[in-house]
Chains A and B, each alone.
Chain A
C-alpha cells in the first residue's frame, strides 16, 4: 500500500520565490498534519486538518505560510514569499483520527527545502 506521498522531495529556490509543497495522505485517513523540522527547533506542528477542515493553525509561523486541503486526498503548503529561514524539512503526516488521539500518525518522506 502507498504511504503518505510528498512532492517535491527536494526544492532549492531563491529568496522571494513562491514555494508549493504537496501531500497525498493515506487513503481513508481523515486527518492530515504539516510539520517542519530544523536542527534548532526540532519537529514542529504547523497546521492540521480533520475531514479537510483546518483545526489548529497556531503553529503557522506567519502570513507568508498558507495551507489548503481541497479534498480528502490532497493538501498543499505554500510559502510566499520564501525566506532563507524557511529552509527546513517539511513533513506531511496522516492518520485515521477518532476521539482520544491515540491513532498512529504516518509520516511522508518529507520535502527538503533550501531557500538561498
Chain B
C-alpha cells in the first residue's frame, strides 16, 4: 500500500464548478499535511497547509480527519488557471521528510 494515495483523475470540470480531491495516508504518526500544486513541466509549489481544524484560503478549503487518516481539498468556482496537478503531502517519521501522493490532475474547461 502506498503511504499517500490519491485518485489520479483526470478531473475534467467546467469553469465555475466545485471540485473535491481526496487523499488518504497510512502513517498515523504523520504530523504535518499539505497540498502542493504542480503545473505541467514545472516544479511543485505549496498551495496550502492543512490544519486539524480545517482551513480556507479564498476559493480553496482543506480538511483533515486524523481518525480516518484522510485529507481533502475543495476548490470552489474553479478557474481555467486552476488546471494543474494537485499533490497531497504528509510528513514522514522524521519531521523534515515529505511523502508525496501521485497527484490528481485537474483540467478546467471553458
A-side interface residues toward B, CB under 8 Å?
A: 31, 33, 42-45, 48, 50, 55-56, 91, 95, 97, 99-102, 104-105, 107-110
Q: Separation in Å of the A71 CB from the closest CB of chain B?
A: 19
By secondary structure, the B interface counts as loop
Whether A56 lies near B43 (C-beta < 8 A) is: no
By beta carbon, the residue of chain A nearest B45 is A107
- A97 vs B46: C-alpha distance in the bound complex, in angstroms? 15
Report if B18 contacts A (CB, 8 A): no
- Name A97's contact: one of B42, B45, B96, B102 (CB within 8 Å): B96
By beta carbon, the residue of chain B nearest A98 is B95
Contacts A42-B101, A42-B102, A55-B96 given; indicate if A100 touches B32 (C-beta within 8 A). yes
Whether B97 lies near A48 (C-beta < 8 A) is: yes
Whether A101 lies near B102 (C-beta < 8 A) is: no
Whether B100 lies near A31 (C-beta < 8 A) is: no
Contacts A42-B100, A43-B100, A107-B44 given; indicate if A102 touches B94 (C-beta within 8 A). no
By beta carbon, the residue of chain B nearest A35 is B100
Interface centre among B44, B87, B94 (most CB of A within 10 A): B44
User: What residues of chain B lie closer than 8 Å to A107, measured between beta carbons?
Assistant: 43-45
By beta carbon, the residue of chain A nearest B94 is A56
